[in-house]
Structure 1
């Protein structure tokens, strides 16, 4: 059985296969990762970009529900 994932851009249809082994990072049409501030992001060479935003809702400080959403940039 194969292990890995296929990530597809819903804007242009470009695909990235993520499988065990060495990455060819500079030539990947879709990139993803975590920035220096801990937010996840994913982007396609066509310009489609999503960034993670998170917050606590419904309480004071860390008492609320932790909500994570993707936002288009």
Structure 2
């Protein structure tokens, strides 16, 4: 087993960062909602990442680019 020294990661924390398998029943997927149109993304309206790093829906991007 390979060990390496890690310093400063756990300072001031009450819990150690470990991964625990919660089983299939506790697995969820995230749902993206556009912060502009307040709609969930779909296959026809997927999330689009802008150059600045923000993420909006394709419909919102089209409306912004058309000036609507």
TM-score by length of 2: 0.31
TM-score by length of 1: 0.30
More helix by share: 2
Larger-gyration structure (1/2):
2
More strand by share: 1
